[in-house]
Copies of this chain bind each other. A is one copy, B any other.
Amino acid sequence: MKVEASQQAMLKVLQDKATRLRIDSVRSTTEAGSGHPTSCASAAEIMSVLFYSVMRYDPHEPRRRDSDAFVLSKGHAAPILYAAWAEAGALPRERLLTLRKIDSDLEGHPTTLLPFVDVATGSLGQGLSVGVGIAAHTKRFDHSDQRVFVLMGDGESAEGSVWEAAQWAAFHNLNNLCSIIDINRLGQSQPTMLQWELEIYKARWEAFGWQALSIDGHSIPDLIAAFERAAQVTDRPTIILARTLKGKGLIGIEGLEGWHGKVLDKSAAAKVIAELESHLSGAAEEWKPNLPSTRRNSSQTAATVSSSVGTPPYAIGGKEVATRKGFADGLAALANADTRIVVLDGDVKNSTYTEEFEKVAPDRFFEGYIAEQNIVGMAMGLAARGKVPFASLFSCFVTRAYDFMRLAAISRLNIKIVGTHCGVSIGEDGPTQMGLEDLAMSCAQPDFTVLYPADATSAWKATALIAKQGGPCYLRLGRPKSAILYGPDEQFAIGKCKVLRKSDKDKALVVAGGITVFEALTAYDQLQKEGLSVRVIDLFSVQPLDRNELIASARTSGGVVITVEDHYAHGGLGDAVLWALADERVRAYKLAIREIPHSGKPEELIEKFGISSGHIVSAVKAALG
């Protein structure tokens, strides 16, 4: 690589910075007593060139929307990320020594407590999807020359989610996206499958539609040239395949196996640091950040949020409508009222009915195809850029993206996951298509708001509620059409249930959700005929729960509570309700799906698997027996 004499000084500066990033990574991990210094060291030149030559950002205002974006997908290299921002002046260098401490934002893996982290990483293979989401946002909404960089490890490219992201990025010609793989050959426990077979890497990425560049990842001129080529390509994303040495520059352990996630003791660290320092050129430094050239995007991306979104178009006594349809109608109605909203779907838009949103706002609809992990990952990236993404999937396939949902929760992202076709009430398609664990999944995540509307009106309103609610939300929806329970002006709120039947002589409380609300109402009628009054609650908000109303209703219903849900028995609505009543000395009975279900007609399955009105009647009688 021939470089101009005038560039030589710059190269020395970048090499010195790479060396200092190594020193800081060793120093902070040794101080912490744990961490991954060797995984940092292999990436030092990559980070130096990116942070001090390529990327445009303001170290003192890392959240600037017109900055280039950086995602550290190999999150275990967190110490070098922190060191890079410190070197840029974003935080004092001495703070690096608080790494991994309980009162420090510099956690073991990057989290969004830090202003320069968009999305938490550390579950390998997620960063590229996040980067794709950000890059897609820039392309569609910012129309700027901002670029997105994602640094991956080589071991993590075995994750299928990486290839989901790769295909989508190429399909959409995201030339503003550049990913780098730090190919240091060694995983945690042994060499990776491909080791340093860069030709195989290259063939795979090219086949997936990317410009692929193989380079020496410790050569600063090579890196600069590669990033330049990445910036020039007009029709595809770029992957830089950087051959590196794990532990590069850490004398005595460079390139050795058995050093993943291990730190140097103080004396070894002192030796390594002394050696590293001896390589510092001491070149005069005049580094200044490459600031974003314009703030023009802020106005372009400004979203409009109007509070008037109309009311649901369904009437009590009118024709039956599925809750998934109520959601989709609500979403389409919101499209113009809240331009932050974007929708992602997984080739099921004609079943989730998000095609209605697509018709109204095609530029804010993203078809994700059958790749649920990448869909949720892209949604995370879009949320990090201020959008309100609704990712709609069949609820059974939300299981596929649970790890992404988990990181969305940890990242406190404003993401909405919508699971349709829940429960045995989907009918004939059979057990593999029935979402029966989605309440367990979503409610387990702290701070997830979880709504489960029973009719189309409440589904419409729930959609508007979660669009407004900050933070992660899950909306559970059913397949079958059902009657309209609520008028268009009925008020719903997160954390509030609906008491549908109530008297001053109630002997038991029945708490239901979704389709079982109708079963509970039928049971109510039958029990009334037999002279027995029960209270009926449509839970609506599974998390948070309407604890006060549940307690009040349980107390005035004899302390006998029957819950009924189209969900597996553990971790569902029943468990949520009982814990709300844990201090009340109630007697509770949980009707739920207790075995692997089967194909059949919805009403047959509701009967066979124990959640029908008949089962509710029997449970009430047994409880009062």
Please tell me how many copies of the chain the complex holds.
Answer: 2
Nearest-CB residue, chain B, relative to A600 = B102
Shortest distance between the CB of A264 and any CB in chain B (Å): 16
B189 touches A596 (CB 8 A): no
- In angstroms, Cα B421 to Cα A590, docked, is 32
Distance between Cα atoms of A373 and B401 in the complex (Å): 11
CB distance from A362 to the nearest CB of B (A): 13
How far does the Cβ of A595 sit from chain B's closest Cβ, in whole Å? Answer: 5
Does B570 lie within 8 Å of A433, measured CB to CB? no
Q: Which residues of B contact A32 (CB under 8 A)?
A: 428
* A122 at interface, CB cutoff 8 A: yes
Q: How far is the CB of A38 from chain B (nearest CB, A)?
A: 14
Interface residues of A in 569-607 (CB under 8 A from B): 569-572, 574-576, 578-579, 582-590, 593-596, 598-601, 604-605
Closest-CB distance, A476 to chain B (whole angstroms): 14
Q: Are A590 and B599 in contact (CB under 8 A)?
A: no
B579 near A583 (CB under 8 angstroms)? no
Complex CA–CA separation, A605 to B34 (angstroms): 16
Whether, in the assembled complex, A203 has its beta carbon less than 8 Å from a beta carbon of chain B, the answer is yes
CB <8 Å contact, B570 and A100:
no
| A349 contacts B by Cβ under 8 Å | yes
Bound CA span A593–B124, Å? 24
In the complex, the answer to whether B578 meets A583 with C-beta atoms within 8 Å is: no
CB closest chain-B residue, reference A123: B432
CA distance in complex: A605, B443 (Å): 22
* Contact call B403/A403, Cβ cutoff below 8 A: no
Contacts of A604 in B (CB 8 A): 102
Instruction: Spot the interface stretch: A54-62, A152-160, A286-294, A486-494.
Output: A152-160
Residues of B within 8 A of A590 (CB): 579, 582
Q: Which residues of B contact A347 (CB under 8 A)?
A: 155, 187-190
Docked CA distance A370–B214 (Å):
22
Q: Is there contact, CB below 8 Å, between A34 and B429?
A: yes
For A162-192 the 0/1 string (1 means CB < 8 A from B) is 1110011001000000000000000111101
Q: When the two chains form their complex, are residues A601 and B102 in contact, meaning their CB atoms are under 8 A apart?
A: yes
* Contact residue among B430, B568, B599 (Cβ-Cβ distance under 8 Å from A445): B568
What B residues does A120 contact at CB under 8 A? 431-432
Which of A156, A403, A407, A568: most chain B Cβ within 10 A? Answer: A403
A595 close to B164 (CB less than 8 A): no
Shortest Cβ distance from A192 into B: residue: B369
In whole angstroms, what is the CA distance A517 to B347 when docked? 47
Closest to A604 in B: B102
Question: Quick one: closest B residue to A578, CB to CB?
Answer: B578
Interface size range of chain A in the complex? 35 or more
Give the residue of B102, B160, B369, B410 whose beta carbon is less than 8 angstroms from that of A193: B369
Q: Are A397 and B543 in contact (CB under 8 A)?
A: no
A466 on the B face (CB < 8 A): no
Contact status A396-B406, CB under 8 Å: yes
A146 to B433, CA, bound (A): 31
Tell which of A43-51, A85-93, A103-111 binds the partner. Answer: A103-111
Whether a CB of chain B sits under 8 angstroms from the CB of A207 is yes
Q: What is the CA–CA distance of A349 and B160 in the complex, to the nearest angstrom?
A: 20
Are A396 and B432 neighbours in the complex by a CB distance under 8 Å? no
Write the nearest CB–CB distance from A495 to chain B, whole angstroms: 15
Beta-carbon nearest neighbor of A112 in chain B = B596
Chain B residue numbers with a CB within 8 Å of A203 are 203, 206-207
Assess whether B433 is in contact with A437, with CB atoms less than 8 Å apart: no
Nearest to A593 among chain B residues (CB) is: B446
A350 and B260 CA atoms in complex are apart in Å by 10
Q: Which residues of A from 392 to 427 have beta carbons under 8 Å from B?
A: 396-397, 399-400, 402-403, 405-407, 409-410, 412, 427
Kindly list the 10 A-B residue pairs having the minimum CB-CB distance in the complex, ordered from nearest.
Answer: A160-B160, A102-B600, A122-B432, A571-B571, A108-B430, A107-B599, A203-B207, A107-B430, A440-B444, A399-B403
Known: A123-B396, A168-B193. 8 other contacts (CB 8 A): A35-B428, A109-B429, A109-B432, A189-B351, A203-B207, A207-B207, A437-B445, A443-B571
Q: What are some 28 contacts across the A-B interface (CB < 8 A)?
A: A35-B428, A100-B430, A102-B600, A107-B599, A108-B429, A109-B429, A109-B431, A109-B432, A111-B430, A122-B429, A159-B370, A160-B160, A160-B164, A188-B347, A189-B355, A189-B367, A190-B367, A192-B369, A200-B207, A203-B207, A396-B403, A412-B596, A440-B571, A441-B441, A441-B444, A446-B596, A574-B579, A582-B587
